Structure 1
Amino acid sequence: MGRKRIVDRDAVLDAAEAVVARDGAARLTLDAVAEQAGIGKATVLYDFKTKAALIDAVVQRAVDRDNAFNRAMTQSLGPRQDAVIQGRILAAAAPLPDDFRAVALNLCAALAQDAGLRGRIQENQRTVIADLTANAASPRGALLAYLALEGLKLLEALDYHAWPDDERARILREINWLATTAPDGDAPLPSPTAT
């Protein structure tokens, strides 16, 4: 009979997030995670054989948590058309917590350098977009609202811009309005004037 496992996998992932927030994903080491968690490196290696596997697990957990939170917000609205996009708008009512912003920012750098990690995010985005457009009264409006919402969240996550609370709330209300509009796709693109 083997030894009983006493270190929780989530505790190791919590420690990895702390190291990513502090040092960046590129500087994450299994030794640093073990030290942060107060455990031996062998314990980290038990679940995560490599640094890449550990970062992949951190990304997957972040995606899973985000999806679960968005599903909960969607379900809180009850069965209705546009629930998926409106649930995502509701979920975005509060910006990313400060303690996760540094993790998100540093994970973006890891995603930019790893096609496998990007593939995980790309697949998740395909699923989200398919779900929100399938549930929408105006699929194009829902898609445009999603793009606006993700732009808002990305600017905040990358620490490029933060809006005052009242302006942020107004933007979210306007994104919600956009979700239910039927845009005219025949409007011409702007063109430069000849000088």
Structure 2
Amino acid sequence: MGRYQAVDRDSVLDAAEMLVRTRGIAALTIDAVAKAAGISKGGVQSSFGTKDQLIAAMYERWGTEFDAEIARLAGEAPLPLARLRAHVEVTYRTDKAEGDRAAGLMASLLNAPEHLTLSQEWYASRLDGIDVSTPEGRRARLAFLANEGAFMLRCFGFMKMSEREWREIFADIRGLLDEANGGRP
């Protein structure tokens, strides 16, 4: 009788994300993840349950990593505008692989309404504390929307952007945040 071998959840998530990046969200099945991770289908199911739970774990890991990088840049107890500026910086630094990872996870939201709610809450929290009734708050909100729009257009391949265009767009977004902060970076 064989010994039970513990499944490394992070390795399984890595395999699932690689599948999404290389073959698209449609390729994400419990069986395909098991093969990619080199474990049994039952190993994936015992760790994550269903495909939807696997996607939720992927999305949660990505969000946790993104938020940790924001916290690292913004520092402890940042003001809302500083937190938003850090969000923009993390987005700007996103490389192709990370963009593909995010795009794949976003695409999965189309098939699972329960994941959409989590995403809506996450996005709403980005503007927590920003007073959008003021011109400065509206500029900050516009910067956030421009940031997310540029990111999604680039990651989904809807708009080709050279590195120069990417830098210019983010210089403009930073300028909006500077205006929202009374002209201070």
TM-score by length of 2: 0.82
| Pairing 1:129-168 to 2, within 5 Å after superposition | 129-133=127-131, 138-168=136-166
C-alpha contact 1:34 1:41 (8 A) present in aligned 2: yes
CA distance 1:23–1:166, change in 2 (3 Å): closer
- 2:57 pairs with 1:57: yes
SS in structure 1 at match of 2:110: helix
Aligned amino acid, residue 9 of structure 2: R
Gaps in structure 2 of 5+ consecutive residues? 181-185
Separation (CA, whole Å) in 1 of partners of 2:23 and 2:102:
13
Conserved? CA contact 2:7–2:47, under 8 Å? no
Aligned to 1:91: 90
**Amino acid of the structure 2 residue aligned with 1:109:** A
2:183 corresponds to: none
- Give 1:106 shift: 2.8
| Equivalent position amino acid for 1:16 in 2 | A
Counterparts of residues 17-36 of structure 1 (less than 5 Å): 17-36=17-36
Q: Which runs of 5+ in 1 are unaligned?
A: 183-195
**Amino acid in structure 2 at the alignment position of 1:85:** L
Tell me which amino acid in the other structure corresponds to 1:21.
R
More divergent stretch after superposition (35-44 vs 154-163): 154-163
Q: Highest Rg: 1 or 2?
A: 1
How much has 1:144 moved relative to structure 2?
Answer: 1.0
Displacement after TM superposition at 1:120 (Å): 0.6
Distance in 2 of aligned mates of 1:172 and 1:101: 16
CA distance in 2, matches of 1:79, 1:46: 39
Aligned equivalent of 1:192: none
Q: Residue 103 of structure 2 aligns with which residue?
A: 105
What's the RMSD between the two structures over aligned residues?
2.6
> Retained in 2: the 8 A contact 1:93–1:172?
yes
**1:5 to partner: Cα distance:** 5.4
> What is the match of residue 48 of structure 1?
48
Q: CA deviation at 1:22?
A: 2.8
* TM-score normalized with structure 1 length: 0.78
- The Cα shift of 1:156 comes to 1.2
Q: What is the alpha-carbon distance in structure 2 between the residues aligned to residue 9 and residue 170 of structure 1?
A: 39
Change (3 A) 1:164 1:181: same
Q: Quick check: 147-156 or 106-115, which moved more?
A: 106-115
Identity %: 31
Tell me the distance in 2 between the aligned counterparts of 1:75 and 1:170.
26
The count of residues paired between Structure 1 and Structure 2 equals: 177
- Paired with 2:33 and 2:62, the residues of 1 have a C-alpha distance of 17
- Deviation for aligned residue 1:180: 3.6
